[in-house]
Amino acid sequence: MRTLARLATGLVAAPLLLAGCAVPGLSGASSAPAASAPATTAAAGGSTQTKAEACDALSATMSTASDTLNSAVSEMGTDPAKAVAALQDFAGSLEGAIAAVNNPEVKAQGEKAVAAVKALVDALNATIQDPTKAADMASSLSAFQTEMTAFATLCQG
């Protein structure tokens, strides 16, 4: 279990990345969002959210996800199964929130983030069963952090 505890320290940065994703929804004040993307686009008979609108729609989920990840990190060394459950809850919440987004750019990056957290859950489960798979978990953790950083950059940019 020491291996899991050491790998869990890498998850500590993830809530900070998620908190960064929530910033656009909380930053408010500005007439600039329209300048960064068209207000709506009539594409294939429907309207598309701006990037700012899509990020705003995800901000509450990202804030909650930050709490979920903190819980997973705190449980990683003592109760890995509980950590897995917390990460699965996070993946489900994020997946549900992404499904409601219709901005193609935000949706695509969100789907990459969902895939990365699911891969992290799989790697954590594998590491629980066989600690020699810790390198795979470290790789999945790195991929997860990369996707969450890309998501935060997209929503802040």
Q: Would you give per-residue pLDDT tens digits along the chain (157 residues)?
A: 454 444 444 454 444 444 444 433 333 333 333 333 333 333 344 568 999 999 998 888 877 777 777 777 777 778 888 888 888 888 898 899 999 999 999 999 999 999 999 998 999 889 889 989 888 888 998 998 999 899 989 998 7
Q: Of 104, 94, 121, 84, whose CA–CA distance to 43 is shortest?
A: 104
Residue 20 CB-half CA count within 13 A = 17
- Calculate the alpha carbon distances from 115 to 5, 61, 111, 143 in Å: 23, 16, 6, 10
Please state the pTM of the whole predicted model: 0.71
pLDDT at 35: 34
Bridge partners (DSSP) listed for residue 46: 43
Q: For the chain, give every domain's residue range.
A: 2-26+48-156
